Amino acid sequence: MSFSARYLVAPLLGAVLFAGCSKSEYTPEIPTVAPVAQQIAAAGFPEGFETGTKTAYTTGSVTLGSGSWTLNDALIGNTTSDRKTGTQSARVRNTGSLATNFDLTTGAGVVTVQHALYGSDASSQWELWASQNGGTFIKKGVTITTSSTALSTASINVNLTGTVRLQIRKTSGGTNRLNFDNITVEQYGGTTTPPPVAGDNQHLTMGNPSGAAANISMTTNYLLDKPQYALSYHRDRGTPTWVSWHLDASWRGTAARQDDFRADNTLPAGWYQVQGTSYSGSGFDRGHNCPSADRTSTVADNSATFLMTNMIPQAPSNNQITWAALENYSRTLMDQGNELYIIMGVYGRGGTGSAGYFETIDQGRIQVPARVWKVIVVLPVGNNDVSRVSTATRIIAIDTPNQQGLTSNWGQYRTSVDAIEAATGLDVLSALPTSVQQAVEAQVDNGPTT
């Protein structure tokens, strides 16, 4: 379960953990990252399968924009049932694969892949594998489940220096077919490392789900580590991918709700700053990740929750009813003598607010997510928190659609951490020992909801 991302969005694709945003929707001028992006483009990426022809599933090589690839039980599809952003995409069936026949000579950091179901086919799973010697391949990241006919973007941490070859392997689903499109590769020199695992009562104590770091080149996985919460910011979506925070009695007090929604001026120079008014008229709430009511110890702490880097476009009933009920319950757990580690995030593209369905708002600068998820680790107040997580620890994971008509019964949306990781490509509780992760992340909570 490894997803430690160092992202760079190449031209024509907004990489995501979840769903891609076309660069035609938002193309800010950012001189500090353009040189690297140009180098990636010069190397032939993103690979959109727009050049080259292969019409049969039999194994064979085809020359694409990035170089020669071997397609096994795969072809280049251009029918109306092929999911694509241009005129073509790769189509894979059975346990077929897409593999580079050339070396990436500047390493591979994060690889992003858009994926969707072909036609009306059923769900299938796939994996990314990588090799530094052209022969021995190792799996990178988690096994990803494709279950939508809309292209979604998986971001997978490879983090290999030197020469690298890549393979996309379909691993399940039999004759059900998958489409792959718009593959990007970030250069990797091995010089950028994520922050170390935090100690007790820190916002990243349970891990850094995407390996975010405060590095200007990480435009879609930029770490903002604030006193009140930590988050991975996605510049091209205008929202956080995830926000993580610790909650205990020390964060609660008498400070009033500030309601001072505003841009976050701590973002790198040249990045578009979402404004407090950017959601106006969209039909979506400025939905908090870290809630205002979780930060009432001081006015400054409460005010920090109103930065727009802590917001997502959230359907009003999802925000005001379902999530409000879960947030209130979380504080009830805290009042019962517990401390909580909470990670919240989004994935997918397109939601339905009070004004209808939208995929973006603010003239395409902000992507509307399709799903909103949260993971809550509940521990009695104590020390050495990571070591105290066991199979007896209550972990609540929920995954909701970003749409109207939801109720306060958040319990109906409970799922496993494994399922959230499969949908997002994240490693949500990465600080836990692998054996503990495997045990607790497979469980679905069945505890009380009020």
Residues within the annotated binding site?
Answer: 319
CB under 8 Å to 18, separation ≥6 — which residues?
A: 152, 153, 241, 346, 347, 348, 349, 369, 370, 371, 423, 424
User: SS3 for 326?
Assistant: helix
**Contact at 8 Å (CB) between 119 and 165?**
no
The dihedral built from the CA positions of residue 73, 5, 272 and 300, taken in this order, carries a sign that is positive
Catalytic residue of the set 115, 203, 246, 288:
288
Six-digit token pair at 25?
């929707």
The answer to whether 47 and 11 are in contact (CB under 8 A) is: no
What tokens does 339 get?
A: 């401390």
Task: Indicate if 246 belongs to the active site.
Answer: no
Helix (H) or strand (E) holding 419: helix 417-424
Tokens of 216: 């200007």
Cα torsion angle, 401, 425, 46, 5, sign = positive
d(C-alpha 291, C-alpha 316), whole Å: 15
Return d(Cα 7, Cα 401) in angstroms, integer: 26
Chain centroid, CA 168 distance in Å: 19
Q: How far apart are CA 11 and CA 2, in angstroms?
A: 26
Nearest 10 degrees: Cα torsion 274, 276, 280, 285:
90
Rounded distance between C-alpha atoms, residue 387 and residue 20, angstroms:
37
Taking the C-alpha atoms of residue 38 and residue 210, their distance in angstroms, rounded to an integer, is 24
The binding site for Mg(2+) comprises 319
Cα distance between residue 237 and residue 349, in whole Å: 10
Residues acting as catalytic residues: 288
